[in-house]
Amino acid sequence: MTRCRRMNMAVGVVIACLGFMSGCGYNDLQGLDEDTKAAWSEVVNQYQRRADLIPNLIATVKGYAAHERDTLESVVNARANATGIQVTPETLKDPSVFEQFQKAQAGLTSALGRLIAIAENYPNLKADQNFRDLQSQLEGTENRIAVARKRYIDRVAEYNKMVRYFPTNLTAKFLLHIEEKPNFTVVDEKAVAKPPEVKFN
């Protein structure tokens, strides 16, 4: 009889362990953490790709519009600023570093936007095959950045849900000691909400 009881206990323990392992979300959290890291690497990869295009772009624009010194310099500075911040998956947990990275990249985006806009004033530059190719590469890269960011946003949302939902939040808090990850936001919400000014001269 005691044998039978011991047996029953063993059965109970095994079932409880299995239930705990599949329900506590330990593996899910680890898997999602790895997914967010991979998604982040893709984001950085695409930003790097954009930074790599810039020297060629500057050289081409300089050939036609050397006196647009301010715009050119602002792109160079913004690029230096953006590539100066290295965000590894470890520092990624820090929301302030994340924000800094996001701001620097947004600064580069707007500087590049101005550079492309001044090209409109130079028909020869616009017709240059090299510039056209660079421009389409830049557009393609911006689109890839958008895709990579969206994937990262989705992965982090999934991860953060796991971190907050019960009962996986217990595993996250007491066993793994992890917190929610920061996600991309609109850098300057006020600027986006403000309607653009249109001047007719």
Q: Residues in the site for other proteins, rule: CB under 8 A?
A: 3-4, 6-8, 10-11, 14-15, 18-19, 22, 42, 132-137, 139-141, 143-148
**Smallest distance, other proteins to C-beta of residue 5, A:** 10
Looking at residue 175, its amino acid is: L
**Smallest distance, other proteins to C-beta of residue 32, A:** 15
CA-angle at 36, arms to 182 and 172, nearest 5°: 70
Provide the sign of the torsion angle of the four alpha carbons 155, 158, 164, 166, taken in this order. Answer: negative
The number of helices, as runs of H, and strands, as runs of E, in the chain is 8, 0
**Smallest distance, other proteins to C-beta of residue 133, A:** 4
Choose between 11 and 157: whose C-beta lies nearer to other proteins.
Answer: 11
Choose between 42 and 68: whose C-beta lies nearer to other proteins.
Answer: 42
Choose between 71 and 135: whose C-beta lies nearer to other proteins.
Answer: 135
**Smallest distance, other proteins to C-beta of residue 69, A:** 27
DSSP string, 30-96: HHHHHHHHHHHHHHHHHHHHHHHHHHHHHHHHHHHHTT-HHHHHHHHHHHHHHHH----TTGGG-HH
For residue 166, give the DSSP letter: T
**Smallest distance, other proteins to C-beta of residue 73, A:** 26
Choose between 146 and 175: whose C-beta lies nearer to other proteins.
Answer: 146
Looking at residue 17, its amino acid is: C
Specify the residue for token string 């806009």. 117
- Residue 183 zone, left/alpha/beta (φ > 0; ψ -120 to 50; rest): beta
Choose between 5 and 67: whose C-beta lies nearer to other proteins.
Answer: 5
**Smallest distance, other proteins to C-beta of residue 11, A:** 5
Choose between 22 and 30: whose C-beta lies nearer to other proteins.
Answer: 22
